[in-house]
Structure 1
């Protein structure tokens, strides 16, 4: 089979597409013929040599990738034969191996894909979808809220915009450039602005007629998030779940008087209902059409290009590799 391997930490060009041995499922595992593999900003950080939330960087060489969907084509000892031939999706946790034509997963991490979801959408929901639902569990929007989403064209931001609109909130989405802001508007945001245009906060205030924002879902940090937080009134909520504009894990909060700031980490996400329960709910929300993930697709052989595009903010929604 073909897989993408990393032999040395560094630039995206260090990702090598090559032929490797097929993995063999161990006890309690299934092997999946991969049809879609998710690419996460954390993958890029680990590739560059950052530890992120791991106790230590991954051992090299490694096949990156932690989110996969495809068809079960082999079983390890103890795995139920009913899994064979099923369309499934799995989040591998911190165990890599997803950027490949075949990968193994423990049965307790596998979900059957609803019939009306394709593989790429299932991959988006198993990781990005569960995170979005964990975020809203910690700060539920309602019809009286004015919600600001600073990275509204990204994988999580796309789903947060939809969720908040479904809840009846007024939604303001920020994105970089006219193409992305057009997508945010088409996704259901009441207002969509290019955060590189410094006049956007004044335009929001004018549109709202003095009404303050009440909730900021902040996954980027940086100047756009600071400006968004300044729109919050007393009693507003600022939920932080990432700092991609300032570097992975650089928790640079910015307090505003009268605003509650919460920083969402892995433990808080688990307390928001448990990872597997969030995964099941995410898949169900997509299957019923209430949440619709956006996807940017790359061939598996172009994993390096996918990483570069993600790091340079050249993608919309979830980035997916397809063998």
Structure 2
């Protein structure tokens, strides 16, 4: 089979497309013929050899923690009713192996893909979608809110914009460039601001129509995340969950600043996310259900498996929109 292999930490060029021996499912596992593999920002961090709170994988390895496809074989103790099923799974932080034509997954991680979802949408929702659902549950948006979404053209951002609009809130998206702001508007933002413009802070105030924001959903961090959070009024909530900025860190406020601005700031990933009722499995089920019914519509950018390095470059260089997905067997990008 063909897979992406990594033998050393470093730039995207360390991702090598090559033929390798196929894996075999062990007890309690299945073998998936992969049709879609999710690419996550954390994949690029681990590829580069930066720990960021997560242990580095042992090399050589095949990256990829999100996979969708068809069950081709089952290991001992797994019911044969899984054979031929369309499934999607989050493979786990330590397992990896999704960037390949075949991947092994524990049966307890599997979800059957709803008939109304294609595999690229399913793989977008199993990781990115579950995070979106968890953040949205903690945000508890309502029609009284004015919501600012950073990275509003990204995999998470487009989902946040859709749900904030559905809740009846005023929603303003921040994105880099005209194409990305147009995408935020297409998915329901009332206003969109290009943060690469020098006057973007003033434009954000204009799009908020003179009122302070009440919720900032911040997946960027750094100076941009902080400036976005400064749009909050008294009682406003800054919910942060990412660090995509060049500075590479979350936006944080110290206790004196929180008291001065009379806002709250809370990290809503990690333990706080996974401790929600229903746990991780519940978040995954809800994410898939919301996509299957059309409540959320993931934006997907596909690359052939052989172009994994290019996909990583696009994600790191902020040239991508939506969720980046690799397609084994695909011959062209869309």
TM-score (norm 1): 0.97
Alignment pair present for 1:260 and 2:259: no
Q: How many residues align?
A: 321
RMSD: 1.2
| 1: CA distance, partners of 2:207 / 2:159 | 24
Structure 1 pair 207–29 and aligned structure 2 pair: CA distance change class (3 A): closer
- Determine the structure 1 residue equivalent to 2:84: 85
**Out of 300, 306, 311, which is 2:305 matched to?**
300
Query: For 1:108-127, what aligned pairs fall within 5 Å after superposition?
Result: 108-127=108-127
Q: CA deviation at 1:149?
A: 0.3
- Determine the structure 2 residue equivalent to 1:71: 70
| 2: CA distance, partners of 1:25 / 1:88 | 15
Q: CA deviation at 1:226?
A: 1.8
Structure 1 pair 27–247 and aligned structure 2 pair: CA distance change class (3 A): farther
**Unpaired stretches in structure 2, ≥5 consecutive residues:** 329-334
**Out of 312, 315, 318, which is 1:310 matched to?**
315
Q: CA deviation at 1:207?
A: 4.2
SS in 2 for 1:78: coil
- Determine the structure 1 residue equivalent to 2:217: 217
| 1: CA distance, partners of 2:137 / 2:116 | 26
Q: CA deviation at 1:246?
A: 4.0
Moved over 4 A (4+): none
**Unpaired stretches in structure 1, ≥5 consecutive residues:** none
| 1: CA distance, partners of 2:112 / 2:39 | 21
Query: For 1:18-33, what aligned pairs fall within 5 Å after superposition?
Result: 18-33=18-33
| 2: CA distance, partners of 1:32 / 1:132 | 25
Structure 1 pair 294–209 and aligned structure 2 pair: CA distance change class (3 A): closer
| 1: CA distance, partners of 2:178 / 2:164 | 22
Structure 1 pair 229–84 and aligned structure 2 pair: CA distance change class (3 A): same
SS in 2 for 1:72: strand
TM-score (norm 2): 0.94
- Determine the structure 1 residue equivalent to 2:180: 180
